[in-house]
Structure 1
């Protein structure tokens, strides 16, 4: 029997699924993260997880994006060979139309992050198309879809290696995870693909991330295959690294490790590893010819009873009346609540500034960084009475190569982003007695609630990468690198790696 899949049903299912996952975390992730919160002993990591959980529930209630980076869309479509589409358009075209409708939905617009001409002009396509689509024909009379919106911070940490057949996959993973830093916003998952060819291993790793979290059940019943043994071994050893939530040091770096494998050449052992972040977004649906897919919202009771509030030890900082001496008094791990005005800027804006300075030209009228902080962010467009949409931090490490320029030539006082700073940036921070702060990645809606006003200051043509001025009130941040060049992302994991060996093991 042939199943007819209507064009509009397929497009609507793609659009509805992307809206759904923009504000609903998978329930298995929420429950696993809630359990990690209960077990966490690191105060900094526990605070970060509390922000992520609080943000998640806020997004579920408000139907707004979990993260300002609403991702690149990746779709795995398995088409039953007894199915027929009532369309003359390609499957990729239908997927992209669904993406377009989802990302331009006026009730919940999602950030357009996709750029055409990636090695040249890098022009934003404005509707987040095209998606990355993987299609396979399978027996049957239904269409099965796994869809994800993959954030750039975690996607950028993807790794691949061609090992020798006698090499250890576990050793490579444990050696490689620390090199990924914390820009992928742990705690999350690791998807690992083993075998096939180079490109097959990468696809396996991405597809593995679509599977549900079941590490607790796996450890309880015990492994039944070599792949399951590897999953448990890698899970335990990665968490023993002490990287922790947001790289601050702690007990939970990964909530699960997913592995898919495929036969490979006798001379080869391809291994790919792709992390999923704290804003993990994916869902599965099936079309049987009976209309578009339906998505059932989770119950709010699925969220743990965790509500983040600032630490009573947090310092209140007035950004409009801040001195270098005050900045230089901060230490790694200090928690701050920022109020006042700050500027934003990320990759494209920094490149524009660099071009102007190199050409001896002034910055745009009204743009002055003297004595101010810059927040690395590309916000979602606002809706209703919002002054800005979800506006969590982007990875600060990408701005490392611009740090000396900004500190030495613009009068910038400090920076806010997520993740660690590399040695070049840390040296510039130390030299200029500056500071680098972090906000929690995966808490974008929570952070946005601290933003009271927003206006574009420069480069409006860059869209979400324009420079804004935000007025904030009690915006929560943590000191990542102090004026002496000491980094919490070095100190925290080192401390917790040494402590984990003395902490009694608690089963997940």
Structure 2
């Protein structure tokens, strides 16, 4: 009988969460580099380059790959012959490991978990509790799968209860374009088929945590229906032309992972959960010998990739930029921003709209006149950092606030990741404003362009407070211009036509 000690569980969870915050899995790096090498879309190639450069920087600096350091999900298989030396429950041990990992002073991770989700939505301050799934199995050890799942990709999860005669492939191909780019492609799609509604979702989440091996499957050929589905979906999803960051290109998914389970004769439950460009997961075993040891990758595992904005990039002085300047920017154009930005996410926007509705002034120090707002919730700084990793959050969550913000301020534009919806695009066109896109999955790289940072309003919101950033040569792409033209609409359609394997998307 194996004795598993409480401190070993806590330490192993702590170590794993720190490890995956700054080390991409080797298989992911290899797959992303292969996508970079074959990519023909310059916009997508540039985005992948930034993701790879950011990944290496994080491995070297031991800082988070993404500012969204995720909600912790743990799958435990506990052997029936295991005995515990502990005075805490297993879930409490896991949560103590999470607490220590997210508060680690040398690599603080962003606390994103809110209690009272349907009410006051109060930050728990330490990213607990984790979501823990536990299974009792034969054996004398504890097998652990742990992930830190980003909210942007989690928000794109899909589920359906199909009829048994319905096509799984048709459903996936219908859902992927609806997901947009907020999950930061290219990444992995985890698909769960069968069981019940909740079982399908769990299967999809577990599938996300598997290693990338699609090219091995292509080489040897499928041996069952699930493997046939993986290959068919891998080809057809990439043929959609969505590409890196939704800009249009050859690679939308690096792999399709599928798990299935027997189901009722009347049902065909299917779930799909994307894993983003900050894919974070680790697998280890506790066998009573002490804390688990994770082997750090070698820096030689990362490719030597370079990127710069090039001579065609337009440098923008945020202190002097005018609405007339903004109107001259072209869709897909690269800009290098220097000057002062204000930040704001969901909670800050909600408060701002409430002030507008009550006829109240903006907080002291908040003036959006001729300014840009950056949708970001940064990680806290450590050591000599100005700010921690500070990549963009999904812009579509701010769509419902955009019209009111543009109506009530002199805001010139917004910066975020992924596409804007019709409501936001209409407001941007009406005000001759602009939406700029930063690369999701390059948070540490982006933070190096931030020279000064301070909180100017709503400090009680923590990472969702309004910050003032002073940036230098921050790279962004014009994603929606002053005429309402969106590269997230034009890019994928153009590349789907080039790939030419399925019909071109139609409007509507």
TM-score range, shorter chain: over 0.9
Q: Deviations over 1:178-204 (max 9, x none)?
A: 000000000000000000000000000
Which residue number corresponds to residue 506 of structure 1? Answer: none
- Measured after TM superposition, the shift of residue 64 of structure 1 is 0.2
Asked if residue 501 in structure 1 is aligned to residue 500 in structure 2, the reply is yes
Q: SS of the residue aligned with 2:72? A: strand
Q: Deviations over 1:273-298 (max 9, x none)?
A: 00000000001000100000011110
Please say if 1:214 is aligned against 2:229: no
Partner of 2:198: 199
Show CA shifts across 1:458-496 (max 9, x none).
001111000000000000000000000000000000000
In 1: Cα distance, 2:70 partner to 2:489 partner: 28
Residue pair 2:374, 2:415 contacting (<8 A) in 1 also = yes
Q: Which residue of 2 aligns with 1:255?
A: 254
User: What is the CA-CA distance between 1:360 and the residue it aligns to?
Assistant: 1.0
TM-score normalised according to structure 2 size: 0.98
- The corresponding residue for 1:433 is 432
User: What is the rounded CA distance, in whole Å, between the counterparts of 2:64 and 2:121 in structure 1?
Assistant: 24
Q: Secondary structure at the match of 2:312?
A: coil
User: Secondary structure of 2:485's match?
Assistant: coil
Alignment match, 1:447: 446
Aligned to 2:336: 337
4+ long deviations beyond 3 Å:
none
Q: Residues of 1 paired with 2:340 and 2:319: CA distance?
A: 6
Write the distance in 2 (CA, Å) between the matches of 1:393 and 1:266.
Answer: 44
How do residues 80-91 of structure 1 correspond to structure 2 at under 5 angstroms? Answer: 80-91=79-90
**Counterparts of 1:389 and 1:306 in 2: how far apart (Å)?**
23
Query: After superposition, where does 1:467-478 map in structure 2 within 5 Å?
Result: 467-478=466-477
Shift of 1:326: 0.5
Mapped partners of 1:253, 1:330: distance in 2 = 27
Tell me the residue number matched to 1:269.
Answer: 268
The answer as to 2:378 corresponding to 1:404 is no
SS of aligned partner of 2:175: helix
- TM-score, normalised via structure 1 length: 0.98
Q: What is the alpha-carbon distance in structure 1 between the residues aligned to residue 468 and residue 260 of structure 2?
A: 48
Return the offset for 1:502.
8.1
Q: Which runs of 5+ in 1 are unaligned?
A: 504-508
Q: Once the 2 structures are TM-superposed, how far is the Cα of residue 113 of structure 1 from its aligned partner?
A: 0.2
Indicate the SS of the match to 2:319.
Answer: helix
Q: Deviations over 1:107-136 (max 9, x none)?
A: 000000000000100000000000000000
| Contact residue 239 and residue 501 of structure 2 kept, 8 A | no
Structure 1 residue 210, shift from structure 2 partner: 1.1
Q: Mark the runs of 5 or more structure 2 residues left unpaired by the alignment.
A: 503-508
Q: Could you list the per-position Cα deviations for residues 354-395 of structure 1 after superposition, in whole angstroms to 9, with x for gaps in the alignment?
A: 111111111111111011000000000001110100000000
Task: Show the counterpart of 2:169.
Answer: 170
Counterpart in the other structure of 2:185: 186
Q: Which residue of 1 aligns with 2:351?
A: 352
Map 1:64-213 to 2 at 5 A.
Answer: 64-213=63-212
Instruction: Measure the CA separation in 2 of the matches of 1:387 and 1:243.
Output: 35
Aligned to 1:414: 413
C-alpha displacement of 1:308: 2.0
Distance 1:79 1:275 in 2: 27
Match in the other structure for 2:378? 379
3-state secondary structure, aligned to 1:463 = helix
Structure 2 CA distance, aligned partners of 1:85 and 1:496?
Answer: 56
Deviation sequence 1:250-305 (CA, Å, 0-9, x none): 00000000000000000000000000000000010001000000111101111111
SS of equivalent residue, structure 1 residue 321: coil
Give the equivalent residue in structure 2 for 1:30: 29
Distance, in Å, in 1 between the alignment partners of 2:46 and 2:175 is 26
Match of 2:505 in 1: none
2:506 is matched with none
RMSD: 0.8
**Contact map agreement 2:331 2:485 (CA 8 A) in 1:** yes
Q: Is the 8 A contact 2:14 2:101 kept in 1?
A: yes
Question: Any residues of structure 2 matched to 1:283-362 within 5 Å, and which?
Answer: 283-362=282-361
Q: Secondary structure at the match of 2:284?
A: strand
1:90 to partner: Cα distance: 1.3
